[in-house]
């Protein structure tokens, strides 16, 4: 009987670990072909109990070779949306992602009170560049298709109260999508 105690403990520990993981699974969403390339883009969501996402990833799948490039983001990141920006006359072809990837208020996880970042990805997922700063709360943006610039409005929460109010610093940021560099702040 004494020999059975370690085995019993191991079985109970393993059973508990399996029971904790029974609700975790991977979900794919928004399967989209990337125009002008041989890639298809999708997101991988690690979903746990109650449908709560535990980190996110994007997957660029090469439809000719079957190989994939995975782009990882912090645990509990919230990938809001992505769009392809293809401006042939300017030689620009990229993926523009809006995401919340920083837990700025240092609470338990990334949530709606954290800033939205604008992130540029190459069409094969090999290159990732964050345009906006972690502390900049992006509000609106538009792409000027003749110049290849993106104009982003937003603010810095200067008093760190988690609200957009009169003490915050509102700004407009202008980025060049060809060089992925900040042109100016207004």
pLDDT of residue 6: 43
Give the number of domains in the chain: 1
Spell out, as residue ranges, where the chain has pLDDT lower than 70: 1-28, 46-55
Q: For residue 15, is it within any domain?
A: no
Q: In whole angstroms, what is the distance from residue 32 CA to residue 43 CA?
A: 10
Q: For residue 13, is it within any domain?
A: no
Q: What are phi and psi of 161, to 5 degrees?
A: -100, 0
Contact by Cβ (8 Å): 57, 70: yes
pLDDT of residue 95: 96
Its domain, for residue 166, covers 24-185
pLDDT of residue 108: 79
pLDDT of residue 164: 79
Q: In whole angstroms, what is the distance from residue 147 CA to residue 41 CA?
A: 26
Q: In whole angstroms, what is the distance from residue 120 CA to residue 132 CA?
A: 10
pLDDT of residue 145: 95
pLDDT of residue 80: 85
Q: In whole angstroms, what is the distance from residue 155 CA to residue 115 CA?
A: 9
Q: For residue 5, is it within any domain?
A: no
pLDDT tens digits, one per residue of 129-181? 999 999 999 999 999 999 999 999 999 988 877 777 888 899 999 999 999 99
pLDDT of residue 46: 64
Closest of 135, 145, 144 to residue 174, by C-alpha = 144
Which CATH number does the domain housing residue 81 bear?
Answer: 2.40.128
Mean of all residue pLDDT scores within the chain: 83
Q: For residue 12, is it within any domain?
A: no
Neighbours of 126 (CB within 10 A): 10
Kindly report the three-state secondary structure assignment for every residue of 82-116.
EEEEEEHHHCEEEEEEEEECCCCCCCCCCCCCCCC
Q: For residue 18, is it within any domain?
A: no
Q: For residue 127, is it within any domain?
A: yes
Q: For residue 17, is it within any domain?
A: no
Q: For residue 8, is it within any domain?
A: no
pLDDT of residue 19: 42
């Amino acid at each position: 009987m004494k020999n059975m105690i370690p085995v019993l403990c191991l079985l109970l520990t393993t059973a508990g670990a399996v029971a904790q993981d029974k609700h975790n699974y991977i979900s794919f969403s928004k399967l989209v072909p990337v125009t002008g390339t041989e890639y298809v883009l999708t997101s991988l969501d690690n979903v746990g109990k109650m449908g709560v996402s535990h980190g996110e990833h994007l997957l660029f799948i090469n439809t000719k070779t079957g190989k994939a490039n995975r782009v990882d983001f912090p645990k509990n990141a919230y990938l809001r949306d992505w769009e392809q920006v293809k401006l042939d006359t300017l030689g620009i072809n990229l993926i523009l992602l809006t995401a919340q990837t920083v837990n700025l208020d240092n609470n338990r996880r990334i949530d709606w009170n954290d800033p939205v970042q604008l992130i540029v990805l190459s069409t094969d997922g090999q290159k990732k560049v964050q345009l906006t700063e972690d502390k900049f709360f992006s509000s609106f943006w538009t792409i000027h298709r003749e110049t290849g610039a993106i104009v982003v409005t937003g603010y810095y929460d200067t008093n760190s109260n988690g609200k957009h109010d009169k003490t915050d610093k509102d700004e407009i940021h202008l980025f060049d999508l060809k060089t992925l560099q900040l042109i100016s702040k207004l």
